[in-house]
Chains A and B, each alone.
Chain A
Amino acid sequence: MNSTDAELIAMLAEPRQKAAAFSSIVRLYQERIYWHIRKMVLSHEDSNDVMQNTFMKAWNGIENFRGDSLISTWLYRIATNETLTFLTSKRMKNLQLMDDEESLMFQNLKADSFFDGNDAEQKLQEAILTLPEKQRLVFNMKYFEDITYEEMEKILGTSVGALKASYHFAVKKVERFLESE
């Protein structure tokens, strides 16, 4: 545990300092958590909703955080669960539509004013959307954030070996998609 985490955890234990400590946590980790969510749900509005839920869940469950892991790991874990829940519920809502959820997400991404990618980056996002959700998570965390496999193991609860294999296959699939187009 780093010194910032230790200080924040000590503050969280004091009822009078709890809100101030959590406010610092939000300011410290919001960008990382936001980008983690955004790369999965793609739309800014949806990412904002999922991030709200993530921090609200963390705040309501702050008593359950015993400091066994880093605060960032704990937040990543909540954000990942919230993101997957959000994507599942969105998929269920759009069941009756002709297009699959990934196609809809890509159509919305192209029209999104907060997407500023060039043609190649747009194609990469399309390729990433062909991956299964869990593999997409692994690919995004490694490719864009360069999170270590050990840290990913703690967040996703998957072994380092399985994560390495998953990333390897994800890269191959993405490259094949890019080459085929």
Chain B
Amino acid sequence: MFLSVKINVMKENMNLNNIGNRKPFSVPTNYFEDFASQFDTQIAIRPISPLKLLRPWMYMAAMFLGVLFLSRMVYTVYTDNKMADAENYELYVMTQVDDVESLDYFDAEVSEKPLN
């Protein structure tokens, strides 16, 4: 009888209005003071590393070097192609003329060069 009355009373108390919104937790003594002090020590020991500060500049330098390397590569390929074209053109011309004309051509080349 007493138990069932107690259970009914407990059930009536089991609603949010009766329970309230108190936080039923506690922390060790001086916890917050200690936490803040310990954290101060941590950030004093671990300042932001110079590497982290330099990182954006390092990224920019790497990008600049990359662009420089690529443009150098493109330029080399372009120059090589141009030289190869010139050589091919000379060979092509030589195949289009007969031996007599070739000799005349070399004679003219030699005669144009100054004599030592």
Residues in A lying within 8 Å of B, measured CB to CB:
19, 22-23, 26-27, 30-31, 34-35, 38-39, 42, 44, 48, 51-52, 55-56, 59-60, 114-125, 143-144, 146, 171, 174-175, 178-179, 181
| A120-B13 contact in complex given A35-B23, A39-B23, A44-B28, C-beta closer than 8 Å | yes
CB nearest to A124 among chain B residues: B19
A137 to B28, CA, bound (A): 24
- Check if A26 sits within 8 Å of B21, measured CB to CB: no
- Evaluate contact between B24 and A55: CB separation under 8 angstroms: no
Binds A, one of B35-43, B84-92, B95-103: B35-43
| Contact A117/B16 with A23-B36, A48-B35 known, Cβ cut-off 8 Å | no
Contact of A115 among B25, B32, B42, B43 (CB under 8 A): B25
Q: What residue of chain A has the Cβ atom nearest to residue B14's Cβ?
A: A178
B35 touches A51 (CB 8 A): yes
Is B10 part of the contact surface with A, judged by Cβ < 8 Å?
A: yes
Asked whether A120 lies within 8 Å of B43 as measured between CB atoms, the reply is no
Tell whether A121 pairs with B44 under 8 Å between CB atoms, given A44-B25, A114-B26, A114-B27: no
Chain A residues, CB < 8 A from B24: 115-118, 121-122, 125
5 closest residue pairs by CB, A with B: A117-B24, A121-B24, A178-B14, A120-B19, A114-B26
